[in-house]
Amino acid sequence: MTEKATKCPTCGAEIDTQGRRKLHKLMSNLMAETQNPTLTLPQQLTVLKTLESTQSKVFVNTFILYGNTCDQLAMIYAEMGDLNQSIDWCKKAYKVVMVHFPHDSIEVAQETLKLAGLLFNNMQPKEAMKYVQQAITLFKGHYGANSQHPDLLELYEMEAVLKTVL
């Protein structure tokens, strides 16, 4: 739908254009605030959670900006040591990446690596192995089977450890 649309193009329902403008302004301000380097982790978390809540009212959960916010939330929770929350947000970001990029893309490989690492560090070996092996396949496709790329080497190390646990 366009920014100036007053009716939903699908169902014809009236759109609160003034309310929509307010939400867009709020999102713009919150996105700018996320770039403030002086915010503490708890402050960053508060801003990002408010941004995500606002975005979820405006966007579908596969919209690229929403995915970016989910990725940032995953990073903040990981920095705060809450890996369960980090994994939940990373899975949402992963879903967005899977919608917007080819399934064999480097973007999918990077997001798969993030999720594999979180699961590995949160001691969820079975699920971690699934994502580790997917990421290995993706990175091999980009860098070659004999690559010494640091991300691929990290994945091989995770795989070796997980094989001893499973």
Q: Over the stretch 88-125, which tens digit does the pLDDT of each residue have?
A: 999 999 999 999 999 999 999 999 999 999 999 999 99
Query: In this structure, is residue 3 part of a structural domain?
Result: no
pLDDT at 71 over 90: yes
Quote the pTM value: 0.85
- Do 127 and 158 share a structural domain? yes
| pLDDT tens sequence across 136-150 | 999 999 999 999 999
**Residue range of the domain that includes 138:** 101-166
Distance, in Å, from the CA atom of 153 to the CA atom of 135, rounded to the nearest integer, reads 11
- Do 89 and 26 share a structural domain? yes
pLDDT at 152 over 80: yes
- Do 95 and 75 share a structural domain? yes
Residues 5, 6, 8: CA angle, nearest 5 degrees:
80
* Cβ(128)–Cβ(116) below 8 Å: yes
- Do 108 and 96 share a structural domain? no
Cα 78 vs. chain centroid, distance in angstroms? 12
